[in-house]
Amino acid sequence: MTRRRGGVRPDLLLGIALALVVAAIAVSAVVPRARTIEDRARALETTIRCPVCQGLSIADSPALLAQQMRSLVREQLEAGRTDAQIREQFVSRYGRWILLTPASQGPDLILWLLPGALVGGGAIVLVMIGRRRRPAPAPPSAAVTAAEGNSRLVTVSLLIVMAAAVAVPLAIAVVPRGPGREISGAPAASAQAGTSIAELEARAAADPGNVTILDALGDAYLAAERHADAADAYRRALEADPNDVPALIGLGVIALSAGLPDSAGPLFDRAIRLGPDLPDPYLYRALAVVQSAGGMTEAARNDLLRFIELAPADPRRQLADELLSGRATGSPAP
């Protein structure tokens, strides 16, 4: 009876695989993540889908609604809420589709357990291979030699697959991001404040039916107080999509700023019908009602209370409180 030489012992491979699993778990537990509120906010923003864009996260979307959602994320973090609580808040408002990445709980848990399951399955196969092997006289047969080679190839292949199943998520957890880059690999704030009006104009000219770009261009014009240009961009967005909520809100804000509350009100009415869980239209509609009526009304009060309910940590909460208490008379607050 001779002992085979040159083979890879299954028990050794199993030990290596288990060591990799333990290392992955240990690293995921100790590697610091999102050490600041800004880091946590950026990480969260890349996992939340923009409701008005095609497959973009709120971190990458230039839309007005995405900007508002980014503000809400930071406000909730500053208020002490956990990442899970903030995600759940968006899920309760929009549904699970709002999440771009799977959560490590519920029905998405299988996506996080898959690497471990692959390692465990590979380990079981290795054990079975090892049990089938029995010490035997070294046969000179070429066929047996080829069979041994095939067995070694299968064993090595299993080891590579098992190692990759652990190494890939481990590398993602350990390798630091480059300065100024998001987890998704996109440049930090690439589609936020870093995009100039000239760049947005060029994009809108190249793709005149892209509602997201037109909304972003309107927002940029509005921020630069170019109200006529902003209104034109929003109108073009509505021509492409009559149900574009950010464009409706933008046009309403422009009308409100111009002292035309009766024109702004119907725009906010429509925005609320299309997006009943968006806080901004309620605040702006209340302002329009207060301006038009010359004081607080029951309808305006209900809108302000609804705004506070939907966005309790919004910085404009102070304006809403002042309106409810009678200390403010109503003014545009875009």
Last residue of a domain, one of 194, 225, 257: 194
CA angle 178, 179, 180 (to 5 degrees): 110
Q: Is 334 among the domain residues?
A: no
Other C-beta atoms closer than 10 Å to the C-beta of 258 total: 13
Q: Which residue range forms the structural domain that includes residue 130?
A: 1-194
The answer on 203 and 180 residing in a single domain is no
Spatial CB neighbours of 209, under 8 Å, sequence gap ≥ 6: 240
The answer on 317 and 251 residing in a single domain is yes
CATH number at residue 22: 1.10.8.640
Contact in structure between 135 and 1 (CB atoms under 8 Å): yes
The answer on 318 and 186 residing in a single domain is no
The answer on 113 and 135 residing in a single domain is yes
- Residue 254 in this model has a pLDDT that exceeds 50: yes
Distance CA 184, CA 93 (A): 24
Last residue of a domain, one of 194, 221, 236: 194
pLDDT at 240: 94
Last residue of a domain, one of 194, 228, 255: 194
Distance CA 277, CA 274 (A): 9
- 32-46, 155-169, 212-226 — most confident range: 212-226
Q: Is 333 among the domain residues?
A: no
Distance CA 66, CA 51 (A): 8
pLDDT at 224: 83
The answer on 147 and 68 residing in a single domain is yes
The answer on 298 and 277 residing in a single domain is yes
* 152-203 tens-digit pLDDT: 665 666 666 556 655 555 554 444 444 334 334 333 333 334 468 888 899 9
* 6-15 tens-digit pLDDT: 555 555 666 6
Structural domains in the chain (count)? 2
Give kind and range of the element (H or E) at residue 302.
helix 298-310
The answer on 203 and 140 residing in a single domain is no
CATH number at residue 318: 1.25.40.10
